[in-house]
Structure 1
Amino acid sequence: MEKKLAIWKQQAQTIKSPEHLEQLFNTFQCQLQSWTLKHTEMFSGSQQTQQQVDFPEHQRNDGQIPTEISKGGTVESTQTTQDGRNKILQEKNEKLQKWVSELQMKYDSKAAENLERNKEAEIEQLRKTSNEQRKQVKAKERENNEHLTRRAITDLCSEIRPTKIAENFKEIYDNQWVEAFEELIDQGYPEEPAIQILITTVDDSFQFTADMAKRRLEHLETSTQTSVMNTTQKIQKHVEPAALSEECSDLVKQLRKASAQTHVDEIQHGFVQTQLHKLYPPKKNETMINFYKECARVTWYMNVQMPPLSLAPKPARGSAFDTDMYALYTQSGTKVDYVVWPACLLHGNGPLLVKGVIQPLKQENMSRAQIALGKDSMKN
């Protein structure tokens, strides 16, 4: 058994994995149990055999027992021998149990080490997966933006395509804005306050139609959700309709865009009612009403696009401005005095569709040629 123990110790030094250690440990336990049972039975049989003393024939026949046996000499010697063997067996068993404990500790240590190694590997794999997914999301966003840009520009069959809307937005500045501006000057407004009234009207119109576009979309989504609910859901109370899928939501937005022209009169009427009291409570002014209506119509078309067109943020007074995005009004300069007309973008932070117009802070000794150049760039 000691030789086997030495062999097991040698094998334990070559353990390569927790699975290998567990296999060795199970084999060792099975052999230990077998060895213990075998030697227990052997010693038990040996004790019984030694207690049956081999007497001479003449002594067995007459029933006499040798004097030394009767005095307990041979029985005592046999008992002493058995006690010694039991002690040796117990010592070996203790050694084996100690080795089992050491083997168990080594197995637990290997298992814990392997678990920690697997944990670190999983964390690293999750980190790599997360980075890869982040890259995929960014790539998908770029792809979507490019797709939206191409779709908007190439959507030439639609009457309310983004490029057409941008043209209409510029036409408002060239036509209705000029008429409304002159009307306000005739009413006694100074130039800059009159311009501020008009650009505020554009901002109000864009916000009003954005709210209306949102309400229209919610109405269509609710109608679609209701139409797909089964009879049981209709009868039950307090049942929330299922959320629309992304594909279905896109179809609803397309429906809103396709039906946008049928709601123009409603949108114009609603916006005009919000504006009339601001300037002319007692009467209606047709010039201003035409300006209100055109702003409402064009910004309504802006807000039903997928995604909506956007008005560029206005640069602050005294800041520098991008001449690629803004034309000059009536004088040249490099710093903003005020915005006359907002720039129009394909979508939030998207490419420019129509330049805005800025009145820069006045420069000293400005030449007439510079003023003319500013007017020409404004028209472009």
Structure 2
Amino acid sequence: MDVNTQRLVTIISELQYELDITKRKLQAEMAEKERILTRLSSIAGSKLTHNNPNIADLSDKNRPQKIGEMFNELYDNEWTDTVDSMTETMEETEVITKLRKALQYVYTKTKREAEDQYRSLQNALFQRDLRKSESENFIPIYKKISELQKEVSSISITNAKQSLREDSEFMLPFESVMIYGEPFVNRCVELCWMMHIQDPPMVLDFGSSAEIVDKNVFRFFTRSGELVDFVVWPAVLLHDNGPLIQKGVVQPFKKHTEKNSKR
């Protein structure tokens, strides 16, 4: 090999080496760019979905719409079975009222426990309460807290059931409900807990008696009418003051009772 050829081979080798270095740098820069874009997309997605019930995760078998359907099945199945069992020794209206109050107690208790759990997870991460001005920067972490609550929900629900059994304020007035309708109570705990850990939390609308029946929110029980006598089953809302997921059930006053009340 003459000197010129050897020199040319050396130059080509050096250029090939520099080209390889440049390619590796370019690949590293592209990988970093992709990582940043993925991170920004994740943050944007978290901000978009955090506390935004209008964007549903269709892969979540316990998403709000499904929970609403399961809550309606609870009314059709466990609630009906419990009413049938308890009306052997009690008046139907008394049984319905007792079951509604039991559900309200479970709903309120699990709401408090789910909120306490969320705050505990938040404090464990941040070691302090965040000011509102700071919270925007931690939306992806809030999203992770909500996801973590869902991941450990089976354990949390088991604990919530045990907590209810150890709660004398529930067990004393609702002992008969536990005797005749333990599956009903257990399912109430499960579904109420799943409602509370949604982002944002779902809401049960128990309505009130003596008000005009809102036919957009409630359907009739065994008769029709204008004024609510008592609420049989609550309506399910996507979130506080949000759209309806499932209608509730009310029993209106009898027609002659309504007329007498208007005199």
Q: Could you tell me the TM-score, scaled by structure 1's length?
A: 0.49
Which of 293, 302, 306 aligns to 2:199? It is 306
Deviation string 1:104-158 (CA, Å, 9 cap, x unpaired) is xxxxxxxxxxxxxxxxxxxxxxxxxxxxxxxxxxxxxxx9799823223xx2211
The CA deviation at 1:160 is 1.5
Note if 1:206 corresponds to 2:107.
yes
The residue correspondences of 1:82-121 to structure 2 (distance < 5 A) are none
Which of 141, 151, 175 aligns to 1:280? It is 175
The residue correspondences of 1:33-48 to structure 2 (distance < 5 A) are none
SS in 2 for 1:357: strand
> In 1, distance between residues paired with 2:129 and 2:54?
35
Q: Is the 8 A contact 2:209 2:228 kept in 1?
A: yes
How many residue pairs match? The answer is: 203
Letter in 2 for 1:209: T
Letter in 2 for 1:201: A
The residue correspondences of 1:22-171 to structure 2 (distance < 5 A) are 148-152=52-56, 155-171=57-73
Structure 1 ranges of 4+ moved more than 3 A: 143-147, 240-246
In structure 1, runs of 5+ residues without a counterpart are: 1-142, 227-239, 365-380
Gap change, CA 1:330 and 1:242, over 3 Å in 2: closer
- Rg: which structure is higher? 1
> In 1, distance between residues paired with 2:230 and 2:130?
48
Deviation string 1:258-287 (CA, Å, 9 cap, x unpaired) is 322332211122223333332438x962x4
Q: Could you tell me the TM-score, scaled by structure 2's length?
A: 0.70
Partner of 1:339: 231
SS in 2 for 1:305: coil
Partner of 1:176: 78
Partner of 1:266: 159
Gap change, CA 1:268 and 1:146, over 3 Å in 2: closer
> In 2, distance between residues paired with 1:361 and 1:260?
40
Gap change, CA 1:258 and 1:324, over 3 Å in 2: same
In structure 2, runs of 5+ residues without a counterpart are: 1-46, 257-263
Q: Is the 8 A contact 2:51 2:200 kept in 1?
A: no
User: Identity over the aligned pairs, expressed in percent?
Assistant: 27
Note if 1:354 corresponds to 2:246.
yes
Alignment RMSD (CA, Å): 2.6
The CA deviation at 1:361 is 0.7
> In 1, distance between residues paired with 2:59 and 2:251?
37
Higher fraction of helix: 1
SS in 2 for 1:178: helix
